[in-house]
Chain A
Amino acid sequence: MTNNVSHENLMRYLDGEASPEERAQIDAAVASSTELQRELVIFRSMKNDLHAMSFGLANDQSVWGAVHRRITRRLGWIMLIAGFAISGVYGSYLYFSSAIDAWEKLATAAIGLGILFLLGTVIYERRKEWRTDPYRNVYR
């Protein structure tokens, strides 16, 4: 509190958020206190300079292009994975319900499962490695 003016009221006065009655009270307090006047001069000066800076902070490159690409890319991945899953399930159904010999079906299934298993373990290892890497936030 400075000269019966609380810090909060002083800020509201400075930022034009004080009521007319509060303004009148603070005007009177400011008129009779050089300490308050000095404080207000500094705060006003900082306020005006910071406000002036905001005009220089113009975004000259829209981010929409990048945002749009990222939004639609996700959609693309979802469609690709869904397409693969549907085709895979349907293809497997057609293959396993066909008249091909059982041993051939078993061999094909083993190859397919083996590839999936290897892919799964590689993804799992890479993910584990990434999660425990203490330097993962370090830009190399």
Chain B
Amino acid sequence: MQPEIEREVIRLAKSGDPRSYEPLVRAYEGPGFRLAVGMLGSVDEARDALQDAFIKAWQSLHRFDITRPFGPWFFQILRNQCRDVIRSRQSRERHEVRDEQIDVLPAGASSDPRRLHERSEASLILWKSLNTLGDEHREILVLKELQGFRYSEIANILEIPEGTVASRLYHARNALREALVATDAEYP
């Protein structure tokens, strides 16, 4: 969406017209979905988180600075929403009796990617390894590789300096490499 059009749409949405919010949702739900699936590893949870993030953004729209782009602000909200889901999932898992046969991957993570897209064996191993990483590592890899954001955009979303983005990416990629080694699978 062109920045001028985006600003106009936000201005209308800020005035309280829910229909004018639709172009924003349509424009950002695709990249938002990729970010949420990457962070949560589950399509259903990702869709719920995306919905909740759009609602939160709508409710906070009056605080949004119209001179800034909507994307980074919205992705920040979505990222926080995904983190809340992960925290809630962890607290849920603490209360559940864990079945030893249950996969360590989050629910749906092992089957969703397969259902979404027929991938090569290597990609599937990579996906599973990605889901074993810590939140911080997975988050930055998702922003860079699945979303294709530039360092400046990632820095904006994560509120860190650009130099830290490069350093975090190195550690995340190394962690992913180690996770791949741990699977004993041949990669690449």
- Chain B, residues 163-188, CB within 8 Å of chain A (1/0): the string is 10011011001001100100000011
Contacts A7-B166, A68-B22; A50 near B187 (Cβ below 8 A): no
CB distance A139 to B117 under 8 Å? Answer: no
In this complex, what residue of B is CB-closest to A67?
A: B54
Which residues of chain B are near A7, meaning CB under 8 Å? 166-167, 170
B118 to chain A, nearest CB (A): 8
Contact, CB under 8 Å: A57 / B116: yes
Q: Does B159 sit within 8 A of A, measured CB to CB?
A: no
Task: State the CA gap A66–B34 with chains docked (Å).
Answer: 18
Give chain A nearest CB distance to B169 CB in angstroms. Answer: 5
A8 within 8 A of B: yes
Q: Do the beta carbons of A57 and B173 come within 8 Å of each other?
A: no
Which residues in A have their C-beta under 8 angstroms from that of B92? 137-139
Segment of B2-10, B64-72, B98-106, B146-154 engaged in the interface with chain A: B146-154
Residues 1 to 51 of chain B near chain A (Cβ within 8 Å): 18-19, 21-22, 25-26, 29-30, 33-34, 37-38, 47, 50-51
Q: What CA separation (Å) do A135 and B54 show in the bound complex?
A: 27
Q: A49-B126, A70-B51, A75-B18 are in contact. Are A57 and B166 (CB under 8 A)?
A: no
CB pair A63–B122 under 8 Å, yes or no, is no
Q: Which of A50, A56, A63 contacts B29 (CB 8 A)?
A: A63
CA gap between A90 and B95 in the complex, in Å: 50
> Could you tell me if A50 and B33 are in contact, using CB atoms closer than 8 angstroms?
no
B26 to A15, Cβ gap below 8 A?
Answer: no
Q: Which residues of A contact B95 (CB under 8 A)?
A: 134-135, 137-138
Residue positions of A touching B, CB distance < 8 A: 7-12, 15, 17, 41-43, 45-47, 49-59, 61-64, 66-68, 70-72, 75, 134-135, 137-139
**Residues on B facing A (Cβ under 8 Å):** 18-19, 21-22, 25-26, 29-30, 33-34, 37-38, 47, 50-51, 54-55, 58, 88, 91-92, 95-96, 113, 116-117, 119, 122-123, 126-127, 130, 141, 144-148, 150-151, 163, 166-167, 169-170, 173, 176-177, 180, 187-188
Across chains A and B, which 6 residue pairs bring their CB atoms closest together, nearest first?
A56-B117, A45-B188, A50-B145, A59-B33, A8-B166, A7-B170
